[in-house]
Amino acid sequence: MTLHITGLSAARAGRTILHPTDLSLPKGGRVGLVGPSGAGKSTLCHALIDRLQAEGTPVSHVPQSPEEALDPLRRLDFHWRQAERALGLAPDPIRQNMLMKALGLEARPLNVRPGSWSRGMQQRFVIALALLSRPALLILDEPTSALDPVIAAATLELVEGHAVQTGITILVVTHDLGLAAARADWLLVLDAGRIVEDAATPELLARPKSVAARALVSHRNWAALPC
């Protein structure tokens, strides 16, 4: 079922940051939200999360870097238990193994602090945590900014594989058109708090209509990135 969201908007300090916006996110789809810094991507994400949560639709958000989600002094198994508790879930080793395996982390002991793992592995762990709630929508916020591009691409492939099996919709939020074009079937371009383009990825790349999308597409070095 497609997630339809209408009239999403946001103001900060008396200024409209996100103008009234409608979104349609197809179930199991991979959608990219692209726009320059300050366009309002984070604001849109927060408004979207608030709206979906208010409607009772499960949504998970993966922040840019694992440090934002993990306490460096707490062991990974503590984080897992906390997430289960927050969701009202009883501990379930089978579910835990399934999610860890989906992110390529099977057989890794969790009785260590985050710093014992590479950042790429920490980010995968955070994504596995985000999947615990069986979200209808998984928002990946600048998912590659904290990782080297090859690790980032491998991580995104694992997430997408899991999403295909479970019907989760993925929203990749980024200022990097190369990343979005490689990962998403559909692209939304946000500029100054307005969605100025909403098109299938090949269509947007071939025929960008808005000034913002044309500027992103004409920035050609995006094509060379591995993810």
- The answer to whether 159 and 140 are in contact (CB under 8 A) is yes
- Residue closer to ligand ATP by CB (options 17, 99) is 17
Neighbouring residues of 210: CB distance < 8 A, sequence distance ≥ 6 = 189, 191, 196, 197
**Nearest distance from residue 101's CB to ligand ATP, in Å?**
32
Which residues lie near ligand ATP (CB under 6 A)? 12-13, 17, 35, 37-43, 175
Q: Residue 177: how many CA atoms within 13 Å on its side-chain side? A: 22
d(CA 217, CA 92): 46
d(CA 31, CA 24): 10
**Nearest distance from residue 225's CB to ligand ATP, in Å?**
17
**Nearest distance from residue 47's CB to ligand ATP, in Å?**
9
- Residue closer to ligand ATP by CB (options 39, 105) is 39
d(CA 139, CA 32): 10
Cβ neighbours around 89 below 10 Å, total: 14
Cβ neighbours around 180 below 10 Å, total: 26
Q: Which of 36, 34, 33, 40 is nearest to 16 (CA)?
A: 40
**Nearest distance from residue 144's CB to ligand ATP, in Å?**
13
**Nearest distance from residue 188's CB to ligand ATP, in Å?**
12
